[in-house]
Amino acid sequence: MVAWLMLALLLHKAPQTTARATVKVTGVVGRAVSLGVDVPPGFQVRDAIWRYLAPTEELVATYFRGSAETLYQSRFYGRSQLHGNLTLEISPVELGDSGTFSALLVNTRGQTETRVLHLAVYEVVSRLTLQVFTSESSRSGSARVCEVFLTCVATGGTKVSYSWGRTDGEMLSMDKHSLFEAGLVLWAKLDPSDRQVSYTCTAANAVSRESATIAPWEHCQREAGSEDAVYDYRNILLIALPLSVLVLAVAVFGLLLSWKRSGKQRTKPLFDASEPDAASV
Ligand SMILES: *[C@@H]1O[C@H](CO)[C@@H](O)[C@H](O)[C@H]1NC(C)=O
């Protein structure tokens, strides 16, 4: 009881706290993530308190005189473990776990140390699809110049960024290339000297990277009628527009969910492991 009162005081007013720079930790959806603290030499830890600070404040784990406790009503209930070295392990980690943690350490003389960590959780990039769209005139067979739109979409993965390169190592010159939709779409003007050129799309985030390569020229001079593999460039609207709508819908849905969840959190002890993601492409 006395210890609890002491700690309640410490949580609000830590007189000898030494704050340090925030440590950044990266997690991958579905895997384990370890949040470690460095204890200064000679600092004999007696108690420790792990809290989740933002977006909502919750008590996650405590360590009092040699025994660890993680059964608090937090979003990490049932997924957290506090090791003897004060490392907090969360497994499996979810997208919504991204946020700020703090560890308050108390030594045998009552002095405190605070560690702040920021966890960013990502979903691995997967299911990359590369497509070529050519214009009607480019397919007439006589064209000396061919305009193509290449689209690159990873349906799995969060905070994905796209980049393009040519396999011949040349830079993408501005007069013959343009990027749209934050790199999802590349426009290129090809001439017969680009016959052999392939383009590589790389989709990457902080935890993974996927690439795909395509040779667009062979899509340029097809006979009209072989519609199976070649699309009219206007069809790009059929991809770009629904995609933008989808991204927006997912973002709105995610916002609604997190809003709903923050309302429920205080009364619900156990969390559904299959929480939908507030993902954005
Ligand atoms: C802490 O202990 C856990 C479990 O024994 C171990 O996996 C982890 O690597 C340790 N971390 C540090 C920083 O020593």
Res. 16 pLDDT band, cuts 50 70 90: very low
Residue-level pLDDT at 185: 94
What is the secondary structure of 132-187 as a DSSP string?
EEE-TGGGSS--SSEEEEEEEEEEE-SS-EEEEEETT-----TTTEEEEGGGTEEE
Residue pLDDT, tens place only, 217-244: 888 876 444 444 445 555 566 666 666 7
Residue pLDDT, tens place only, 208-221: 999 999 999 888 87
User: How many percent of the chain have pLDDT more than 90?
Assistant: 56
Lowest mean pLDDT, pick from 4-8, 55-59, 161-165, 264-268: 264-268
> Which residue puts its alpha carbon closest to atom 13 of ligand 1?
36
What is the secondary structure of 216-268 as a DSSP string?
-GGGTSPPTT-TTT-EEGGGHHHHHHHHHHHHHHHHHHHHHHHHHHHHHTTT-
Residue-level pLDDT at 228: 45
3-state secondary structure of 30: coil
For residues 137-160, average pLDDT:
83
Q: 23 versus 195: which is more confidently predicted?
A: 23
Pocket lining: 36 vs ligand 1, CB cutoff 6 Å: yes
> Which residue puts its alpha carbon closest to atom 4 of ligand 1?
83
How far apart (Å, rounded) are the C-alpha atoms in residues 266 and 16? 32
Q: What CATH code would you report for 2-122?
A: 2.60.40.10
The reply to whether CATH 2.60.40.10 applies to domain 126-216 is yes
Residue-level pLDDT at 54: 84
For residues 95-103, average pLDDT:
96
Are 187 and 151 spatial neighbours (Cβ–Cβ below 8 Å)?
Answer: no
Pocket lining: 85 vs ligand 1, CB cutoff 6 Å: yes
Q: How is the chain split into domains, by residue range? A: 2-122, 126-216
CA of 158 to the centre of ligand 1 (A): 28
Res. 250 pLDDT band, cuts 50 70 90: low
Pocket lining: 156 vs ligand 1, CB cutoff 6 Å: no
CA of 36 to the centre of ligand 1 (A): 8
Residues facing residue 268 across a β-bridge: none
Pocket lining: 208 vs ligand 1, CB cutoff 6 Å: no
Res. 265 pLDDT band, cuts 50 70 90: very low
